Structure 1
Amino acid sequence: VYLVARQKYFVGYMGQTSQSTPGYQFGKRVLSFLFLMCIVGIFNLLLVRYFGNDFKDTVETITTAASALLLIP
């Protein structure tokens, strides 16, 4: 998904400035989502290690719902 966003950005970069903006915004959203999922994964690891709680089902539900939001322009 990130590579598609980068390709869209570079194709737009060769044209007008307004054509590169959607690719840039989409790439920024994808990177933000990946960063957020890293934070959630680390938090879940700490919960499992120190408290014995596993929120795998909750994290999967949130991830599924949030990934659909990436496609909103």
Structure 2
Amino acid sequence: MIIPDVGLNGILINENESSRTFHIQVDERTSPLEQTLYLVARIETNSPNSTDHASDAIRLKVIPKKTQVSQK
């Protein structure tokens, strides 16, 4: 699994934004699978307290690529 165009520090949400859209790519040779993912947000602050916040579970399902049959 690859998340293209990720910056040096991950997916950045600026202070004037409340969300960010990103895309996930899977190598075409990957076997079909289902996997649970979690995203973690880390707020940049000077506080000594933990600022990590996990998302709800995200279910990733990789299915086989459908091949097209040519009609003659």
Larger Rg: 2
TM-score (norm 1): 0.24
Give the number of the structure whose residues are more often helix, by fraction.
1
TM-score (norm 2): 0.24
Give the number of the structure whose residues are more often strand, by fraction.
2
Structure ranking higher on relative contact order (CA contacts 8 Å, 6+ apart): 2
